[in-house]
Structure formats: C-alpha cells, structure tokens
Chains A and B, each alone.
Chain A
Amino acid sequence: MIDQIFVALKHWLVELAPNPCQPLLSALIDVAAIIGVFATLFAITTILERKGLGRIQNRYGPNRVGPFGVLQPLADGIKALIKEDLVPRGADRVVHFLAPLVLVTPVFLALAVVPVGRNMVAMDIDAGVLFFFAVGAATELSVFMAGWSSRNKYSLLGAMRALAQMISYEVPLILSAVTVIMIAGSLSTVKIIEAQAGYAGGLPRWFVLTPWGLAGFILFMIAATAESNRSPFDLPEGESEIIAGYYIEYSGFKFALFFLGEYIGMFAVSGLAITLFLGGWHAPFPFLTWVPSYIWFFGKLLVLPAAFIWVRGTQPRLRMDQLMNFAWKFMLPMALVNLVAAGLWRFLDPGFSRWVVCSFLVLGPYILLGRGLFQRKHLGKRIYRYAE
C-alpha cells in the first residue's frame, strides 16, 4: 500500500537492528524524518514566500540563483554559514548562545505530536495537545533570552513586546483549541483526527465546517500568527521601529537558526490547526480517499503558510495598543463565547436548530465586539490644570 509505505519502510529498518536497540532506533528514525522533512519544507517556503511577496508587490522576487531562483535557499544557507558569528562584548555569552537552541528544540519537539499521515505520528501520547502547548510556550523563553542577553536596548524592547504579545495571545490560542477537545473528548491528536473521519452529505465532517469550528479556526489562526511573530503581529521584530527586535545582535548561523525556528514554529502551529480543525490527513471528499494520507496533510500544510504569507503581504503592522485591545477585547471574549457555542453544539439535538443557535451565538458577539473595537474614543488635547 502506497499509503503506508513510509510506515512499512520504518518497520523494516527497525527490524534489522538487534532487539534491545529497536525502540531507540525507531525514535531516531522519527527524529531524522521530522528534521529532514520540515527543514526541507522550510527551505522551500522561504523561496516561495519571497517570490510570492514579490508578486504581491508586482516584483519578480529572487530569480538569479539557478532556474527561476529555486536555488536561492542554498545560497542563503551558504551565506549564513560563512558569515562571522558576532557576540556583543557586553552580552551574556552563555544565554546568548543558548537562545536560538531553546527556540529550535521546542518547535521540533512540538511537531512530534502532529500526525502527518495515517499511523504516521512520532509520539501518540494521551495529552498530545497539552504537550504541544506546553512545549510551544518555551519559545517565549527563548525570545526573552535572546532579547535580554544581547544587552541592547532595541533587543530588550523587542523581547518585552514579544512577551506581552505572546502571553496575551496564548490565551485565545488555547481557548479556541479547547472547543475541539470538548467535542472530540480527547487530548490525543490521533483521536481528534479520528473524530473528524467520515463524510456527511458529500462533505467531510471536519470541525471547521461547523459554526463554532469556523470561529475557532479563525481565532486559532489569528492567535497563531501572533504566536509565531508574523506580520501583522510582528511588533517584536518590527524592522522600521526596533530594527530586528530580539535578534538584532545575532548574525551568521545563529540568525539562521532563529529564522528556522520561526518557520518551523509556523509549520507546527499550522499542523496543529490542520489536526484540530481541518481533519488532519483526511481527504476532503470521499472520492479522493485513494490519495495517500500524507499528501493530504502536506497539501494542507502548504495552504496554511500560503495564507500566512498572503496576510503578511497585505496587512500593515499593528500598534501596541491595537494589539492589546484586539487580544483582550475581541479575541478573548470571542473565544469564551465560542466555548459556550461548542458546548451547546454538543448537547443540542443534531439538526437545523443546532446550526441556527450556534451561528447566532457566534455571529452576534462578532458583530457587537467588532463595533466595540471600532468605537472611536475622542481623545482631545490633554489639559493640565495645575502645571500651566
């Protein structure tokens, strides 16, 4: 079976080894596969992103290295490797060195619980989603380590912005994922995908095709954008404001590691969004189930970062107060309301009435909260009563 070819290959490889070594070898193969596949995907995404952004701005994008510039990631990699590795004299050398590693390790760890195909998950643990969020929270530590250890005012500013942003958006990110856990009744990523199997009326039973699922998916993706520090939530590294934020003092391969970590983080969170809302490796239509499951997963994984890139090419950066208002005045209430909607969905009878109730429950607060965000506070000139 072509669907299980990689699983069979791994089994065959593992059985070649003597019995005591087999668990270790199995784990090593998983690690190698994850690092190899996602690092390659990272290289492909960087060139596609640059070309896509170019086209969005009516430019060509990189087209000099190799045919159509496809070898650009290779040139970038070589450039990063041969650049001088600078560490500021006042920097805390150990923390400065550790920060990129602390970023890259957790994002690869997080990928371990994302099923990339049928029977293709490195760790099927009962608390998969919990593990993902626990490990994902370590990126915040890395960002602050980088910003603080550089002993640079801009990088410290960037790190503080990053912490404020990431902690604020962690809440709606997890709350929007909780809806899925409530419906699926499990924290295991494999079980969540199983809960989305099957088709109803020619459409897949993905959670994104329910009112609470759609709202949850959108909230999750917005929070994920903020979590991975991508535009329009790229305040921590805003080039025009604080030059490069927390990684201003990084050069050479450490900088490349930050870059890698950011993109792998984007893949990991996209992979989780696919797992939670987009049916994981399931085919969208019943007549397409013959296509191997991993192709569906990676197909979806290319679509979500494409959306990230599209948003990056369109939206201007938020201001700090807009960012915080959006997180606490819109995202958090919406995520809480969405929890109620998911609960009702679970206990109401399946049918038309369930759709109407849940849709109203999601749409009503959306419109009201949106209006609240648009309300203009007329802040006049400040008057000093006593200081004049």
Chain B
Amino acid sequence: MLGEGMVKGMVETARNFLGSYVQDERLVTVQYPEERIPQIEAARNFPFLVYDGDNWEKGLRCVACQICEKECPPQCIYITKSKDKKPDHAGKPQLYPAVFDIDISVCMSCQICVEVCPFDAIKMDTEFELSTSDRFGGLLLHAKDLAKPNTYFRKLHPTEAAEADARLAAEKAKAEAKAKADAEAKAKAAAGIKPPAPAPKAASALAQ
C-alpha cells in the first residue's frame, strides 16, 4: 500500500534517534581533541631519526650516507656530511650529518627512506599533529627536531624496534669479537713472530 515504505523508514530513523541516547555503541564518533583512539602498531606518518643513549648529537645512528636522500621520491630530505668523524654504536668512527632537514610539507609518508636505511637510523613516527603557525620555517624540520630516542621507537613500534635492536646488537657483538681477535692477534704478534700487520685491519674494514 502507498506509504508503507515511508512508515518503515520513519520507524528506522526513530529507532536511530532514540537508540543513540541509550546505546553508546551507536555513536561511533570519536570526539577528537578530548578523546583519542590508540593508533595501531603499523601506523606511520612521518620519519624521525633514532638515537641511542641520552645525548641526541652523540647517539645519532645516522652516518650521513645519503641513501635516503637519493631514494626519497619527492626529494624532501636534505643532508650535508660532516667534516670530522665520531664513533658509532659499535665504536667505529663514522661521519655524521652536519645538516639533516626534512620538509614535512613535501614528505608523502611512503617509508622508502626507512626501507633503504642500512643503519636503522631513520624510522616512521606516528605523530600527526604537525600544524604550525609558520608555513615556511615551521614545516622544515631539522635534525634536532627529528631526533628521537630509541626508547621512544620501542614504545611506538615494539616489534620493529626489537628486530632493529637485535640486528644492531649482533653487529656490535661481531665488531667486539673482531676487536678482541685483533687485539689477541696483536698481542701474539708482539710476543712471537710478526704477522702481516695491515691484513686483519683491511679485512675488518671490509666486513664493516
């Protein structure tokens, strides 16, 4: 009969109207600034630089190899290599970035920089409240703004951080074992017959 479907629809909307006052699960809106839903672990928004220890300048894992800069599709990373060297996590002297800037207005959150980094130095952040009142300077983040401690990374992406930590620890252990072997060889050489001195050093450099 005419009007039947209309009544059906009206009943449905009435049920929605009244139900929204008694059933909380009907209202799916998250009232954002006051309420937040926790982000999933795989969430990513914008890269940051990981550092070990407390001092961001000393602990920065980045060695300024510029792979991410070259691979970045929208070319939003800008790196200048340092003149001097500083020891990395395994104690080996490495270059470090004198300038490391990312333009967040250009970044497209593709995570390619993270995938190409051989040092686990750049990772994805989940921070999304990046608005600024200065649209030129404020959107260009420097190394100081980008550097975040490893503990933060562990909190953000526990699985990925555990993998990275294991990888770095293995590398460090390997380097330490090698150093120990070198030292032993050196001691042996000092005690007995002189072995060809530069050979182990070159090997270790290759291994690195």
Contacts and interface: CB of A to CB of B under 8 A. Distances in A.
Given A52-B17, A55-B20, A58-B20, A370 B1 contact: yes
Nearest to B9: A314
A366 B27 contact: no
B13 interface: yes
Contact of A56 (B17, B28, B29): B17
A370 B4 CA distance: 10
A56 B10 CA distance: 10
A58 B28 contact: yes
A310 interface: yes
Contacts of A373: 2
A73 interface: no
B33 to A, nearest CB: 10
A370 B1 CA distance: 7
B167 interface: no
Given A366-B2, A370-B3, A373-B2, A58 B26 contact: yes
A310 B2 contact: no
Contacts of A105: none
Contacts of B27: 58-60
Task: For chain A, give the interface size range.
Answer: 20 to 34
A94 interface: no
Contacts, number: 45
B133 to A, nearest CB: 22
7 contacts: A55-B20, A57-B16, A60-B29, A310-B17, A315-B9, A330-B2, A374-B2
Contact of B13 (A310, A370, A374): A310
Interface residues of B, number: 19
Given A55-B21, A314-B9, 14 more contacts: A55-B17, A57-B16, A58-B16, A58-B20, A59-B27, A60-B27, A60-B31, A310-B14, A310-B17, A313-B17, A314-B6, A314-B13, A330-B2, A367-B2
A369 interface: yes
Contacts of A371: 2
Q: Which of B9, B13, B16 has the most CB of A within 10 A?
A: B13
Contacts of B3: 370
A243 B35 CA distance: 34
Interface string A273-311: 000000000000000000000000000000000000011
B1 A59 contact: no
Q: What 7 A-B pairs have minimum CB-CB distances, sorted nearest first?
A: A370-B2, A314-B13, A314-B9, A55-B20, A56-B13, A55-B17, A58-B26
Contacts of B129: none
Nearest to A60: B29
Given A60-B29, A314-B9, A55 B16 contact: yes
Contacts of A313: 13, 17
A311 to B, nearest CB: 7
B84 interface: no
B174 to A, nearest CB: 57
Interface in B1-56: 1-3, 6, 9-10, 12-14, 16-17, 19-21, 26-29, 31
A264 B59 CA distance: 69
Given A60-B27, A314-B12, A315-B9, A369 B2 contact: yes
